[in-house]
Amino acid sequence: MNTPTAPADLSPDHAATGSVVTTTHTAAEEAILSLRGISKSFGAVAALTGIDLDVAAGEVVAIVGDNGAGKSTLVKVLSGVHAPDSGTIRFAGDEVTLPTPHASLALGIATVFQDLALCENLSVVENLFLGRELRLHRLDEVAMETRSWELLRELSAKIPTVRVPVASLSGGQRQTVAIARSLLGHPKVIILDEPTAALGVAQTAEVLNLIERLRERGLGVIMISHNMADVRAVADRVIVLRLGRNNGEYDARTVTSEQIVAAITGAADNVVARRSARTSIDPQETR
């Protein structure tokens, strides 16, 4: 299901040149989360410059970019780890600040970091409710386990038992647990940082299914990814960052991988395209 259709035309003319920004549509009025002109510097290094981003409810927005493009910094701004130097963040129409991770969570922005942050020695239930246990002085294990099953069933998660240590789960199952945990706080926007980076083919498909289910539940999903196939399989819009700036916004249904790669690298004549031309094979190989 997540095999994207190969672009018919291989000619590089189709690829957007780096300077041209193709904006397909902006959803500012319906956006649940909306960033305008976000900048962030670390000393002399401008990590983010004037970033705009909109996410609507029930929409999957992919953020792609090369190493150092500012993806991680953007995630950290949204999750409240770093405060931006300038720019505005609007959430559900109101202007907000995100000074701490807690503030971000309380507002309804949940982040699943790439390392998942699970305690391997604790079971699935214990991890899901870590930090928000029910009945602190006499843990309500039964209620927590029941709620865990409900949540995992809603996500059609394939986890056979919730009383095993997370250490015994596969990568995809762990990703599922981490995502399920972020859903416990009833977020409106969920940020997934490289959700498929460490996963095999089947597990990647599972996580992509899960992302589609999040969209069906009406959540705004921001997905950071390196993987063009994954991005085009589930995203509605693709936003390209390059050197800390917006470098293109595409409709995921119509954009080609070459266009995205061109925007990521900043030129149609880039190393990926050259390699693709030299080996002259199916462009899917270049992903």
* Binding region for another protein (CB under 8 A): 101-102, 105, 113, 115-122, 126, 130-133, 136-139, 142-143, 145-146, 149, 158-165, 167-169
* C-alpha span between 257 and 10 (Å, rounded): 10
Nearer residue to another protein within complex by CB, 28 or 119? 119
Residues 6+ apart with CB under 8 A from 40: 46, 47, 48, 73, 77, 82, 84, 85
Closest distance of CB 77 from another protein, Å: 16
Closest distance of CB 241 from another protein, Å: 24
The helix/strand/coil state of 95 is strand
Closest distance of CB 69 from another protein, Å: 24
Closest distance of CB 167 from another protein, Å: 5
Nearer residue to another protein within complex by CB, 26 or 121? 121
Nearer residue to another protein within complex by CB, 127 or 276? 127
Sign for the pseudo-dihedral over CA of 29, 31, 32, 35: negative
* C-alpha span between 13 and 17 (Å, rounded): 9
Chain centroid offset of residue 274 CA: 29
Which segments of the chain are extended strands (E)? 31-42, 45-56, 60-65, 86-91, 94-96, 109-112, 189-193, 220-224, 237-242, 245-251
Nearer residue to another protein within complex by CB, 169 or 231? 169
Nearer residue to another protein within complex by CB, 120 or 269? 120
